[in-house]
A and B are shown apart, each in its own frame.
Chain A
């Protein structure tokens, strides 16, 4: 018995890696549709704000993340844009991350095509601008001084119909930031929403969830979509289950495995220390 526990404690960690791989891969091949996804108020905050906007309202979406955070933020960005286009809102995209333009362009173009939206009329892509908080501060007073041309066609912004009536951040009906770090949600709140007084919603990675939640309680954010779980909630809300909903099986099983291993390790240690000595 003692030998067994000793072996268990000295288990090769590569076996644990294999177990993790198994619990992640298994639901991809055979979706389990585990129950338990509850729609939270934080996610509803973003959904309800978009739902309350009248048709043709213009919203700004900032994709402040890179490929490293794609699995967490990409599904929620797609879900929110699908919701916006379905509601016939006009969407303008941008990014504050040098490594973000490719993903931002891909998301906005793909979702716009799904709803047969026209570039320049229904959506626009500003592209990347260096400067972080200076960009947001500048956009708060005059967007045209920060982004003079769009990123796809290189034409002056004022030539696009979607820009009618848009001069500064205050003219957007809603601003949403999908942020994985700095510049990101903190920057948009401090230099944007709090300063210029526009409605701001956000989507964050799981790592950033705990530090970002206080902004919900203070109503500095109207809503927050946290990580893949938040994205799956949003997919349920818009009745379009996709990548995030599929991924929740894997994450659920992964959590069970970690919990099981933590409990097992503690039980083994306790047994070894108090019962086998």
Chain B
């Protein structure tokens, strides 16, 4: 096994234990892992943005265009600089300037410039998002709610087989659920005796949804925890120089020393 894989395993095990140590009590190891996580995440996204976006999408096309034009006007430039790739383009400057304009918010005197950037983003975003959202999350969902209640069998008669009746029941329940839940959020009129009962059924439907969402969230959290423990299990072997048991032991020693000391110093 190569050195980077072993080093990666030790770092992964160490940081997992540091983060999990918070379950016992707040401690310096957790703080180290927490700060490292934030720092590394920002650094990683920054480098990805530089190398995947700024250099290939903006710097290269713009610099290529500039060098190509310069070579045409001043021929000796081509002796020193050879543009990589195609002739390039100055068009990426436009979105780049809009993006940079947002940073002017840092300086109050020229922060008004950022409004142009925001105006473009809001205009472009809204123009793209509104029709797509209405079509996908509104019209398509309404269409899905209004399903035929009964299935027709061959010959035009209503299909009364078990699965068909179950589908009919589901369609009616779905439609009813949507109506009563929407009714719960209808605040234009004061809810009377009957409408209060309808909204109560709406609440039950909402509770079923929240219950399902909470249940799946618990499942998700268990899956994440399993993932971490499975990695700890994997890295316990001699191939990784027993990263897991050694680091667990070191963390426990630190805990005994650190909390033992703080117990002695506390009044």
Contact = CB atoms under 8 A, between A and B. Distances in A.
B222 interface: yes
B228 interface: yes
Contacts of A251: 219, 222-223, 226
B9 to A, nearest CB: 14
Given A70-B227, A217-B144, A255 B219 contact: yes
Given A130-B53, A137-B128, A194-B140, A250 B226 contact: yes
Contacts of B229: 21, 24-25, 28, 250
A82 B170 CA distance: 35
A107 to B, nearest CB: 15
A122 B144 CA distance: 38
A258 B48 CA distance: 40
B169 to A, nearest CB: 14
16 contacts: A71-B227, A71-B230, A101-B48, A127-B52, A133-B128, A190-B132, A191-B132, A195-B132, A206-B216, A206-B219, A206-B223, A207-B216, A210-B212, A218-B140, A229-B219, A254-B222
Contacts of B53: 130
Interface stretch (A35-43, A170-178, A220-228): A220-228
A24 B217 contact: no
B45 interface: yes
Interface of A: 14, 17, 20-21, 24-25, 28-29, 68-72, 98-99, 101, 127-130, 133-134, 137, 148-149, 186, 189-191, 194-195, 205-207, 209-211, 214, 217-220, 226-229, 243, 246-247, 250-251, 254-255, 258
Contacts of A98: 44-45, 48-49, 52
A255 B216 CA distance: 10
A194 B133 CA distance: 10
Contacts of B219: 206, 227-229, 251, 255
A201 to B, nearest CB: 16
A194 B132 CA distance: 8
Given A99-B44, A220-B140, A24 B225 contact: yes
Interface of B: 23-24, 41, 44-45, 48-49, 52-53, 56, 128-129, 132-133, 135-137, 140-141, 143-144, 174, 209, 212-213, 216-220, 222-230, 233
B52 A129 contact: yes
Nearest to B225: A24
A98 B54 CA distance: 13
The 9 closest A-B pairs by CB, nearest first: A71-B227, A206-B220, A218-B144, A190-B136, A254-B222, A190-B132, A228-B223, A206-B216, A210-B213
Contact of B218 (A29, A186, A218, A255): A255
Contact of B209 (A28, A210, A250): A210
A17 B224 CA distance: 15
B232 to A, nearest CB: 9
B230 A14 contact: no
B220 to A, nearest CB: 3
A186 to B, nearest CB: 8
Contacts of A219: 144
A99 B41 contact: yes
Contact of B23 (A17, A127, A195, A229): A17
Contacts of A29: 233
A253 to B, nearest CB: 9
A243 B230 CA distance: 9
